[in-house]
Amino acid sequence: MNIAENKILSLSSPLTLPCGAVLNNRLLKSAMSEQLGDKHHNPVPGLQTLYSTWADGGQAVNVTGNIMVDRGALGEPGNVVLDEDSDLEAFKRWTQAGTRGQTHLWPQLNHPGKQAPGFLYPEPVAPSAIPLEGEVSVNFNPPRALLEEEIWQIIERFATSARLAKECGFTGVQIHGAHGYLVNQFLSPRHNQRQDQWGGSLENRMRFVREVYAAIRRQVGDLFPVAIKLNSADFMDREFGEDDCIQVIKTLADDGIDLVEISGGNYEKMAFLQETASSERTARREAFFIEFAENLRQVCKVPLVVTGGFRSARGMLEALHDDATDMIGLGRSLVIDPAFARKVINNVHHGIHLQRRSTGFRKLDTLTMIDVQWYQQQIIRLSRGLPSKPEMSEWTALLKMCWSLGGRAFQRTRA
């Protein structure tokens, strides 16, 4: 196929969501945790700098790094929290900067469940009292199972954050249902072994996410974009697999969700940050989760974003033209080059090469989540109005992280 000659669908084609909102093009900046909250977990001014840069970048939507719905349940020291005690004026300054040029700015709303470091959230809650496994488990305390009334309280917290987000000038919201956090924990038969209406059958396991969505929708109304990021599969034993995921997406589509972002993995298995694709076919097509998206498209036409691995205009256009997805999600490329979206829209031959980050010590890389740390240091540079510094060594990134976190440096952070 000659991509340049295909005039039917391009990266700059607008997309209308079920709620009626129109996105200017097919590119979305995926959530990347900034850890730029102040000591009261309000946004620092650097977030205005960062998101005005990304607003100028060319993508239709910028999704913020995860924002916590409960200040008693943090995942990282620098988390921003959006609740009744938040400084809404600080959020308004952020949204004003981040929506310039009619760019959409959506907060990613999250509750970590048990996937939060012990020093921050000593008594984590989860659907069931099942600890995380493997190398990562040293950083997390075993959770206790949520009581029914606590489940309803958390659902209301998501709804409150969404209402406040709309009041503050965000133009949509995204529920974080991926990467092993609370919503994902409820969906997983491995992490959710409850015997009540919240566990067991898939219908019961998806009750939490459906109630979160319904509570948000009641607060923000029918015309406001409500999106979700979901795992295509959990890549673990007794996983939340692809068939389950398709059922969940079909149900949420019937409920009225506006946009589904597809990712995969969790802290036990970091599929969303892989640099090698799971099959040769996937590798050829750049994106990690594209084959799942194609299977999903056979049975569900909900607007879709596929995130993870896209590095060239050609790969993105192929995914659109194959009707594998409606939108392309971009993460690390937009950190290294905040103008990357504009460049791929304007030049079908444009691309970027991102190397896998490593200290040379696999265990250290895993324990520190070196990829996330390195990119987070680059995000901090952008928030100070500086360009990214691709030549920064992994050791420098780790030192900077240690400096800012002190003794807590080797605890895991969020992705």
Comparing CB distances to ligand FMN, the nearer of 219 and 263 is 263
In whole angstroms, the minimum distance from the beta carbon of 397 to ligand FMN comes to 11
Burial letters for 279-293: b for 16+ Cβ neighbours within 10 Å, e otherwise?
Answer: eeebeebbbbbbbbb
CB 298 within 8 A of CB 342: no
- Give the SS3 label for residue 19: coil
In whole angstroms, the minimum distance from the beta carbon of 35 to ligand FMN comes to 9
Comparing CB distances to ligand FMN, the nearer of 33 and 115 is 33
Which residues, including other chains, have CB under 8 Å from residue 61's CB and lie 6 or more apart? 23, 27, 28, 29, 103, 104, 105, 106, 172, 327
In whole angstroms, the minimum distance from the beta carbon of 410 to ligand FMN comes to 17
Comparing CB distances to ligand FMN, the nearer of 235 and 375 is 375
Comparing CB distances to ligand FMN, the nearer of 192 and 373 is 373
Give the residues lining the site for ligand FMN (CB under 6 A): 30-33, 65-66, 108, 176, 178-179, 229, 263, 272-273, 307-310, 330-333, 371-372, 375-376, 414-415
Indicate the residue whose CB is closest to ligand FMN.
Answer: 331
Backbone dihedral angles phi then psi of residue 16, each to the nearest 5 degrees: -100, 125
CB 332 within 8 A of CB 375: yes
In whole angstroms, the minimum distance from the beta carbon of 371 to ligand FMN comes to 6
- Give the SS3 label for residue 331: coil
Comparing CB distances to ligand FMN, the nearer of 38 and 196 is 38
Q: Give bridge partners of residue 262 from the DSSP assignment.
A: 230, 306
117: its two tokens: 């470091």
In whole angstroms, the minimum distance from the beta carbon of 212 to ligand FMN comes to 15
Closest CA to 260 of 165, 177, 317, 158: 177
Comparing CB distances to ligand FMN, the nearer of 199 and 272 is 272
Comparing CB distances to ligand FMN, the nearer of 179 and 205 is 179
In whole angstroms, the minimum distance from the beta carbon of 137 to ligand FMN comes to 21
Closest CA to 269 of 192, 164, 178, 356: 178
CA angle 262, 86, 335 (to 5 degrees): 40
